[in-house]
Amino acid sequence: MSTATADRKHFQEILGHFDAGMLVTRSKTDELRVRPMLVAELQSDADLLFLTRAHSALVEEISEHAEIVITFQSDSQYLSLSGTAKLERDAGKIQDLWSEEWNRWFPEGSGDETLAIVHVQATQGEYWDAGLAHGLNYLFEAGKAIVSGKDKPDDEAAEHGKVDLGSE
């Protein structure tokens, strides 16, 4: 497996751990806007689907500037995804995506005619992973460094990768 393929696979594995991210858009006045968004669906190509109201500031912003960034973080993993966003109106797909958790934001339910899907087509991603497996490897490398008289291990504190998501 090539490094690019392994990085892409690892990126998508990390992305699958997140339920919500911070979506960055550009306003009509070119100011950056950031809002939390619950992931409705992660597709196999790293595209993401979110639910929103069709007549919201988010929809206005992506209609003016489709380029977006989404960031995700946990205690030991960080991820950013760049792409373009587009609005989709598909009541059947909204029904398929619906779960009870959505009632908190959309109390009218999945039949709410003001609901729309924000489809983010991923183009690039970047991750930093200092998870347990990497941490154990780092400890092993640190032990080797101490035994061999090095100041620190050759390994970085977190695995880092950049991935092209625009094509398979």
Q: Read off the pLDDT of residues 31-50 as tens digits, 9 standing for 90 and up.
A: 999 999 999 999 988 999 99
Give 125: exposed, middle or buried? Use CB within 10 Å, 0-12, 13-18, 19+.
buried
Task: Give 1's pLDDT tier (boundaries 50, 70, 90).
Answer: low
Q: Does residue 144 surpass a pLDDT of 70?
A: no
State percent of the chain over pLDDT 70.
Answer: 82
- pLDDT, residue 5, reads 84
Angstrom distance (rounded) from CA 66 to CA 84: 5
The whole-model pTM stands at 0.82
- pLDDT, mean of residues 90-116: 95
Angstrom distance (rounded) from CA 136 to CA 88: 44
Strands 48-53 and 41-42: antiparallel
Strands 67-73 and 41-42: unpaired
- pLDDT, residue 145, reads 63
Q: Does residue 66 surpass a pLDDT of 50?
A: yes
CATH class entry, domain 3-129+160-164 = mainly beta
- pLDDT, residue 155, reads 47
Q: Does residue 157 surpass a pLDDT of 60?
A: no
Best CA proximity match to 61, nearest among 36, 24, 21: 24
